[in-house]
Each structure stands twice: as C-alpha cells, then as structure tokens.
Structure 1
Amino acid sequence: MKVSKMGSILLTCVLSVSMVSACSSSNGNGDNSGSGTAKGNEPSNTEKKAEEAAGLNPSGFPIVNDKITVKGFAAKLFANADWNNLKLWQEYEKATNIHMEWDTTQKDSLKEKRNILLAGGEYPEVFYASAFSRSDLFKYGKQGVFLPLNDLIDKYAPHFKALMAKYPIIGKGIKMPDGNIYGLPTLYDPEFKSVFYNTPWVKKEWLDKLGLAEPQNLDDFYNMLKAFKEKDPNGNGKQDEIAWGAVGTTGLLGYLKGSFGLNNHGNSNAYVDTDPKTGKLRFVATDPGYKELLQYVNKLYKDGLLEKDIVSVKSEEIDAKGTGGLLAVIDNVDPVAIYNQQGYVGLPVLKGPHGDQMYTYIGSPLGNIGMFVLTDKAKNQEAMIRWMDYFYSDEGIKLFFMGWKDETYKEQADGTIDYTDEIKKNPDGLSLDQAISQYLVWPGGYYPGFVKQQFFKGAEGLPTSVENAKKSEALTLKQDQIWPAFNFTSEEQTELTTLATDIQTYVDEMRDKFIVGDASFDKWDEYAATLNKMGLDRYIQIYQAALDRFTTE
C-alpha cells in the first residue's frame, strides 16, 4: 500500500534494532545510518531544489518521501528464494520507500543472462550482485550504459566514502583508467584477518599419534606428509589416508609460493610481482624460484604424498574423502564447516630453501568491483546510491548478514551475536546457507557491501579460523604491500585479453605437467622460450602501465 511520509518514518522505527537508530526526520539530523551528504560536501541550492522536487531526503530514512519502484537485476544462490517476497527487501522498502522489482537468475547462468539483457537493450536501472568484470565495467562505462558514480558517492554515500578515505586502496582499485568509478564493490575489512589468509589445515590428532611437531620448513613438511601416508595414523591397518587432499594444485602452490619468495604483492595479480633483485616487474612463472617450487611439488607427487588425481579430481570426490575423515591436510576453509570434521589446526608458514618465509597467498580488501551498477535507465540515481550506501554502514552490515534480533539471531549479554538455533540447527534439515536464505541474500558470496568479522558467521569467522589467522599473521604480507587487481584501458584490455588467454593457459597447463611428470624439467628453457614467442614482453609492458597508474594515483 502507499505509505505517507510520516507513516514511513513510523514504520521505520518499528523495524529491527539494527535499523532503529537510523530513524530520523528528513532534515538529516540522524547521525549515521542512511545518511547522505558528507560534511564539507553540502549540496548547492540548485541541488537542494532538485532533491526537493524528487522527494529525496539527503540523510536519514525514508530515502524518498513518496514510494518509487526501481527495476533491478541480480544473481542469487538458491532458486527457491524469491527476492520479491524476501523479508530483507520487504523491510528495507518500509524504511526507504523504495520498492525493488527484482529479476533474478542463478549464479550459473548469470553471465549469459546479463549479456543478453545488455545486448538487447532491455537492461534494468540497477545491476546488483551481478559481478561485472573490470573490462566490462570500463567498456559499458565508456559507452554510457553504466553511469559514473564519482559525484554520487561524493554527495550521497558517506559510509562508502569514509571507507575510501580510511583505506586508499579502495579508491585506487575501483577507478578506471578514465578516472571514473562505474561500480561499487564487495569489500573485506582488513581487520578481518581470517577472511584473507587461511593456511591449510592439518589433523592434530594424527600429528600427536605419530609424535610429529607442526612443520617449520620444507623438509619438515615433506616428512610429515610421508608419515601420514605410510604410518597408518587412523589405525585401521590400511594405507587409505590422503596426506594432502585438494582439487587442483593452485592452493598448494599458493601456500608454498612465499617460501620461494614469490607473489610478494599478493595474489590479485597472480602472474606478476616485483623482482626483489632489480625492483622491476617480474613474470612469476618464469622465475628460477618458480622452477624450484615446481620441482619440490613434483617430488611430493612422485612420492605419493598428494592426491593421486590432483590435477583432475572432482570436488565431490575430495568432499567424500574429507567427510570420511581420510584427509590429513585440507586445502580449504575450516573442515568443521565443510566436512563436520573437528580437531584440525592451521599449518605454519614454512621457511624455504633460501630463507624466504612469508605467506603471500592473499588478496586485497577489494572483492569484485562490479557488484552494484547504475545504468543510464536509472531515474533515481541519488536515491539508489543512498539505498546502497546503507549496506556499507555498521547497521546495514548487521542487517544484511544477521537479520533480526530474536528471529534470525540472538544477542548475548556481552554484546556478541549469533544465529538462532532455527538457523544453525534447522528443524527441516536445511543447511545454514539454505535456512538464512529464506530471509537474507548473502549466501553464495555475490553481493556489494562490507564484510566485517563482527557480523559474518561463515566459516572464515569461526574461532578456529580466527586463531589460524593469528598464528600466521606475523609472517603474512601486510595490506600496504598488496596490490589490488589492476585496471586496464580499453586498448590495453583488448590486447591483453588475447595475450593473457594464451600465456596464462599455457602456464597453467605446463604447471600441472611439470608437477605430475608429464613434462621434464629439462624442457624448462623451451617452456620459457615458448612464453616469449607468445608475447610475454608485451604482456609485461601492459601490466607495467597499469602498475604505473596505480602507484601514481
């Protein structure tokens, strides 16, 4: 039903505790939640008149005085969650006076559906949780299909603007080469250590049974895996234990790269870093340290210490072994969350053959930067930036991830919160993700917003994960050492797409061949020469140009 301005304010004030303090009259006296203009960026008289004509309140709730309808497109995880009848959006509509008319698709069909909408010109006002690539953001931004958000952020997104000020890497990472911002990102709180770095997990009971200490270097690591394979730590008289269980070799190499001095600016640009000897940009996969790394992992494979089908095994096969308690070391999130297996602890950061000891398999606070996009069809741009900005505030984050007190979460006397038993131990047998998706939209990881440890109760927020992060923190890259994924001009991206497809595909194919012995290390020079013929010099030049823009921003 249509709600008057006063009615909207009253409705807002009976929402959950997470939104109550957002209540304020439309004069903007509310101190934070839903606020619109940042101090020092007050709108001009012309802008004020435009806001008044549009019924827009520059701060507080409701965002607009008269209800508006906005068409949005989004990806979702579960098919049975109807976003048009989801409590999160229904309650937020009461607070904001903005009715979202959702067209959703499952994640598996996102790219196809998204591209069809854009190609046919039948796209919505808002793309939400649509995970546009950096190249698509720039492409459609230059075409005028996606709107630049710089001024809107400056005037109507104080929470996001404050995060940009606090963490400069955000602004540097989301600005395209033309200086415009075309999308709002998923952000991860740099203080939420366990969401960034989570070394593999080892079964402590088996270490203790075999009298093994946690490994400190590569020899220790080898000997530990060998003992798990040969000494029957589960005591069933069979050699059925898998020393290292994982899908693919990426996680193992990621764990070990820092022990060989590689990826010294993190994993967001996984194929390049800085050569510590020259200070120049380096292609990681031709460095002598990378060859040493592959030779070490090849030794692990030859001696049967890795999942025998590691380059081709399906996730369901590893999951079955994990659930059955057969994996000594697990390259994933905490096994208690995914396999219901207790008693695993994080592995230490290992010292390498030349004294390197750093965990570098870590990304920047920036997740996907194309999670919220306004198109040229958006009729209420200012209102929608305010709508989104709320979910970068503490109150919005709490609502987004936790929902409503005494309905989806309980609050303890010490102020800590957790989901209710109906969510955690659902009587209908639903998993936590399935149960909370009857109310909220975050499961599946596709959303714009700010992930904070206080309000995130997924696997990375478990106490064991937090402890694991603390264990490796001193030997992990610091945030100011980490590069975000770089942005490229249209011309660079066009050229790089072809180069990167060929080069990176070849690198990944040869990586696995070297590891399993299908390619001899005697062919290393031939491998490097092939990369040079593919245009590796030009590939590096393009990355250097992007790095130069990043460092001079």
Structure 2
Amino acid sequence: MITFRKSLSLLLAAGLSVSLLAGCGSPDSGTAEGPSATVEIVNKEGFPIVSEPLTLTMMAPDVGIQNWQDMKVMQEMEKLTGIQLKFANAPLDSFETKKNLVFASGEYPDILYAASLTQAEEITYGSQGILLPLEELLPEYAPNVQKILDEHPDIRKSITAPDGHIYSLPRIDLNAVWYRGPLWYNGDFLKALGVKKLPETTEELYTYLKRVKEEDPNGNGKADEIPLESVKIKDIRVWMLGAFGIYDEELYVDDKEQVHFTPLDDAYLEYLKYMNRLWSEDLLDHEAFSQTDEQKKAKGRSNLLALFPDWHAYFTLGGEQSTEDPMFIPIKSDSVEAAAIAKHRGISTGQFAITSSNPAPEASLRWIDYIYTYEGALLFDKGPEGVLWKYTDKDILTKEWLPVPGGGDREEYRATLTPNYGIASPMMVNDDVVKGLKSDFDDWVDKETKEKLVDRGARVPFPALFLTQEEQTEVSGLLSDLRTYVEQMEARFVTGQEPLGNWNNYIETLEKMGGSRVREVYQGAYDRWKES
C-alpha cells in the first residue's frame, strides 16, 4: 500500500519548507497532509510492516530509568516491524510543559506516545490539522483496535470528538477498579488495639482514629502516632467524600443521571465538617496539605501511621509485601444508605496520536495495533520471553518468572526493558499476560479489591467525553479560577481558618464564578454522550 502523503520531492518542487507545512492541513476535509521522506510500501498483514526502511520520531514521557533506544522491547519492535524510532522524550515531571512547547513550535514528532492528551488538546489540534483523524484508517491498518471499538461502543463514544473524528487511541483495561490509590491500615496498629472488625461508618472510623491517638499502638511510650495521613489531601479526598454520597471531587452523575459539580453540593459541606472535626482533634496530620510523598513515607517507615494512602501498604511502611495490612473499607455516614465508591473508567484517553508531520500514518497504526494484541501486550508489559519470564505451557499461555539478571528488584529491572512502567502506555491490558505470574500477594490484593470495592457497588463517576470547542473554551476558563478557589477554601474550611458558618458566602462566590454553568455544560455533554 502506497501512503497517500505527498513526497518530500513534491513539496520541495513547490518551494515549500517542511517546517512551514508541519501542522498545516484541511480541517474541513478531515485530513492533514504532512511531508514524507520517501514513498513507503506498507504491508497490511504480517511482519515486517514496511518493505523499505522507515524512521519515525516519537515523543513520550520518560521516567528516567533507561534510554528508550536501549530498551529490549523497543529493539524487538524494530526487528519485528522494520520501523526505527528516534525518541524526543521529556522527563515525566516536565512532560506537560514540553508537550505544550512542541505544539506551539510548529515542529512536531511523528508520534505522540503515552501523551495523555486532554479532550481540549484533541479538539484544538485536531481541528487545526496537527493531529490526524484515525477512524478511516483503523479498519485496514488497526484491525485489533477496530475490533475492540466494535465490541465496546462506549469506548468508541468516549474517544470520538464532536466533529466525528478519532484523534487518539486510549489505554484500555476493562478490569481496572482503582479510581484512586487505596487507603491501607497499619496491621500492627490494628493488632495492638485488638481491632477485629474494620470501621464501616464515619463514627466507627472516628473512634478508631481517636484510639490510635490516645492508646500508643506503636508501643514507644510517646503520643507520636498519626491516625490519618495524606499528601495534599488529593489522595484521600474521594474516599472521605464517598461517605456522604459523592463519587468524585469535581464531577459525577447520580442514580437519576443528574450531573453534579461537587463543590456546590450540600453533601460537600458535610464532608468539610467531618474533615474539620478530624483536623481539630489532631486525627488528620497537620502537614497533610503541604508535605511530599517522601515525607509521608518517612513517617510510615518510622511506624507512625495508622491509615494512609499508597499503591500498596509496604510502599509506605517499608519492608516486604504483607497481607497483614488490610485495605480500607469505604465508610458511610448517617446521611446515606451506602458509601459512594468510585470505579476506574477502564480507559485512559489520549495515549497515542499521529501528527501531520508523520510520513507513514498507516505504518504507525500497524505498529501500535500490535500492542493491542495478547502478544504485543505481553511484550510491552513483561519484556521479551527468556529475560524475566518463560512459558511453562504455551498452549494455555501459562508462564513462570525467571531469576532477575544480576539479582535485584524485578520491577526495577522490568523498567529497563519496556516503556510500560510509570506511564499510561497505549495498549489493551490482557488478563492472559499475567497467567501463571501472579504471586500470593497479588491474589490477596485482588481479593481485597473485589470484596471491599467491587462487591460493595463501585461504579464509574463520570464517563470520558468531549465538549464542543466552544464549550471547552468556556469551561476551561471557568474551571481555572474555580479549582483554585475551591482548593484554597477547602484547606481553610478543614483547618478552621474559615468558619464553616460562612458556607453560604462560599456558595454565592462559586455561583458568581460560574459553578452552576459548569454543571449545566457537562449535563448537556453527558446527555449527548448517552444518546450518541
């Protein structure tokens, strides 16, 4: 298949430079023409993908452990596909800034990988022709992605812009549950206090935290225990909000399909009252609004924390994996029949996109489509066979771990093999990938997740959806100021700097700043999404 992009020779003959054309296109026609170094032959099936050498540039966030060109996974992909990638990556913590600069520069990488493009970015740069529409190419060049979209129309709805185009592909994990990292109890504290049943209500949790403060569960003779820990409140907020029937800190849909802007909810006031109560009695760490994750971990390793957030408890407490530090059960207040438990959407949008600079969009789609298969997901998640794992029975896809080369931590070594570490790599997460590789600890975490979240009614708070360009412009402007104000006032209400009696004044300010308009716009967008 000869690509439909113009060759560089034609562009030069027209007296146009590549840099001037980068990002130019015809939004009305839904296509964007970019330069091509050569006329490429793209094979629709099998490998290699291209019959002639092809080099593409890729931009992605980098966690800083291994240069991507030295990763075995990327080397294997080059051998398999015939496509060489040149990487223009940026550190993870500064990637958003680099991404914005690149879009502003007019000089684009061919591929954006794990870029976490927002819907606003997709609409803006898609309408300008900088991001290529993909939907017409998917059936021929990404059949695995196409099959997923055919089988899961909600995913297609969530990645389709208002103009009908698909500008990016998501990371898909239909079994994902965790909306935020869980909270964990320090099992040693539970044993020291003789706790046999975990708290399930706000009052039961208050009573437990009070006991931690007063009864010296770490046994050092000092009142140095920290009952509830957090890093800037964000990591515990959704769990505490759930006690009052709120699914998300900003937007959620209730059982009547009405959209809520959380900071306007009366239930949000009840959350603030509860958090202020914990703060005023020193049950919530007074450094919770300001400290770093490393400061939190230092307290955990000093055995000071009773209840805290993290991906796993041992990440904070130190030591080995343990099944003795149980997951938090979402609590409920007297005002609701059950806790509101937020569940992951199952997709992370905006993770793979092709720009107008790309000389071979078809080949690029074939490259990424492989990662949406079992074999591709296995390669990107665990690395090549024979390094960290091997098959024990390939017919039924069971595997076992191999010793880590040179010893050391398996996850740290895996991070040198694959980019699928610490970022939202575009792929379809496949259960068969981990068949035979799960540890007893992994099984225990799955069991805790099922019993304490899934079985208790966890659901998605709000779908991934697009606003129109006009709506996005309006809402982005409103939310920029609203978020800053809400964050400041939350801290003031919780710490008592602002009396809770000033709630009505706070609501009046939110209304003047456009809080109700945000809710109204998202209600309309949700109704469109539901009916599309």
The answer on whether the counterparts of 1:510 and 1:519 sit within 8 Å (CA) in structure 2 is yes
What aligned pairs does 1:476-515 form with structure 2 within 5 A after superposition?
Answer: 476-478=457-459, 482-515=461-494
The answer on whether the counterparts of 1:76 and 1:446 sit within 8 Å (CA) in structure 2 is no
Residue matched to 2:42: 56
Structure 2 CA distance for partners of 1:348 and 1:246, relative to 1, 3 Å:
same
Deviates more, 1:337-346 or 1:201-210: 337-346
Q: Does 1:533 align with 2:512?
A: yes
Q: 1:239 aligns with which of 223, 240, 260?
A: 223
Q: CA deviation at 1:509?
A: 1.4
Cα deviation, 1:408-451, whole Å, max 9, x if unaligned, reads 2244569554654326xx64x5x545422321111222421123
Q: Output the CA distance in 2 between the equivalents of 1:512 and 1:416.
A: 50
Q: Output the CA distance in 2 between the equivalents of 1:464 and 1:419.
A: 19
Deviates more, 1:83-92 or 1:516-525: 83-92
Residue matched to 1:37: none
Q: Does 1:315 align with 2:293?
A: yes
Q: Does 1:388 align with 2:371?
A: no
Structure 1 unmatched ranges of 5 or more: 1-52
Q: Secondary structure at the match of 1:127?
A: strand
Q: Does 1:356 align with 2:340?
A: no
Residue matched to 1:191: 175
Structure 2 CA distance for partners of 1:168 and 1:325, relative to 1, 3 Å:
farther
Residue matched to 1:33: none
Deviates more, 1:157-166 or 1:223-232: 157-166
Q: Output the CA distance in 2 between the equivalents of 1:416 and 1:352.
A: 45
What aligned pairs does 1:7-406 form with structure 2 within 5 A after superposition?
Answer: 54-78=40-64, 81-188=66-173, 190-193=174-177, 195-196=178-179, 199-212=182-195, 213-263=197-247, 267=248, 270-274=249-253, 280-341=258-319, 342=322, 343-367=324-348, 369-406=349-386
Aligned residues: 485
Structure 2 CA distance for partners of 1:357 and 1:60, relative to 1, 3 Å:
same
Q: Does 1:441 align with 2:427?
A: no
Q: CA deviation at 1:507?
A: 1.4
Structure 2 CA distance for partners of 1:116 and 1:274, relative to 1, 3 Å:
closer
Q: Does 1:519 align with 2:498?
A: yes
The answer on whether the counterparts of 2:183 and 2:308 sit within 8 Å (CA) in structure 1 is yes
Q: CA deviation at 1:526?
A: 0.3
Structure 2 CA distance for partners of 1:113 and 1:284, relative to 1, 3 Å:
closer
Structure 2 CA distance for partners of 1:148 and 1:460, relative to 1, 3 Å:
farther
Structure 2 CA distance for partners of 1:482 and 1:153, relative to 1, 3 Å:
farther
The answer on whether the counterparts of 1:248 and 1:311 sit within 8 Å (CA) in structure 2 is yes
Residue matched to 2:21: none
Q: Output the CA distance in 1 between the equivalents of 2:92 and 2:231.
A: 21
Structure 2 CA distance for partners of 1:435 and 1:513, relative to 1, 3 Å:
same
Q: CA deviation at 1:482?
A: 4.3
Structure 2 unmatched ranges of 5 or more: 1-38
Q: CA deviation at 1:145?
A: 0.9
Q: Secondary structure at the match of 1:531?
A: helix
The amino acid of 1:259's aligned partner reads: A
Q: Secondary structure at the match of 1:477?
A: coil
Q: Output the CA distance in 1 between the equivalents of 2:410 and 2:299.
A: 22
Cα deviation, 1:248-274, whole Å, max 9, x if unaligned, reads 2233331122221112xxx4xx42334
The answer on whether the counterparts of 2:244 and 2:340 sit within 8 Å (CA) in structure 1 is no
Cα deviation, 1:48-91, whole Å, max 9, x if unaligned, reads xxxxx84322222221222222222222111x522223221111
The answer on whether the counterparts of 1:198 and 1:468 sit within 8 Å (CA) in structure 2 is no
Query: Percent same amino acid at aligned positions?
Result: 30
The amino acid of 1:286's aligned partner reads: L
Structure 2 CA distance for partners of 1:382 and 1:461, relative to 1, 3 Å:
farther
Q: Does 1:465 align with 2:445?
A: yes
The amino acid of 1:159's aligned partner reads: N
Q: CA deviation at 1:202?
A: 0.8
Q: Output the CA distance in 2 between the equivalents of 1:454 and 1:330.
A: 32
Residue matched to 1:18: none
Q: Output the CA distance in 1 between the equivalents of 2:67 and 2:410.
A: 18
Structure 2 CA distance for partners of 1:301 and 1:454, relative to 1, 3 Å:
farther
The answer on whether the counterparts of 1:199 and 1:347 sit within 8 Å (CA) in structure 2 is yes
Q: Secondary structure at the match of 1:186?
A: strand
Q: Output the CA distance in 2 between the equivalents of 1:133 and 1:460.
A: 37
Q: CA deviation at 1:337?
A: 4.0
Structure 2 CA distance for partners of 1:447 and 1:289, relative to 1, 3 Å:
same
The answer on whether the counterparts of 1:334 and 1:344 sit within 8 Å (CA) in structure 2 is no
Q: Secondary structure at the match of 1:421?
A: coil
Structure 2 CA distance for partners of 1:243 and 1:459, relative to 1, 3 Å:
farther
- Tell me the TM-score normalized by structure 2: 0.85
Q: Output the CA distance in 2 between the equivalents of 1:125 and 1:250.
A: 35
The answer on whether the counterparts of 1:337 and 1:459 sit within 8 Å (CA) in structure 2 is no
The answer on whether the counterparts of 2:252 and 2:461 sit within 8 Å (CA) in structure 1 is no
Structure 2 CA distance for partners of 1:360 and 1:75, relative to 1, 3 Å:
same
CA-based RMSD = 2.5
Cα deviation, 1:492-524, whole Å, max 9, x if unaligned, reads 111111100111221121112111111111100
The answer on whether the counterparts of 1:301 and 1:515 sit within 8 Å (CA) in structure 2 is yes
Q: Output the CA distance in 1 between the equivalents of 2:340 and 2:430.
A: 22
The amino acid of 1:450's aligned partner reads: M
- Tell me the TM-score normalized by structure 1: 0.82
Q: Secondary structure at the match of 1:99?
A: strand
Residue matched to 2:36: none
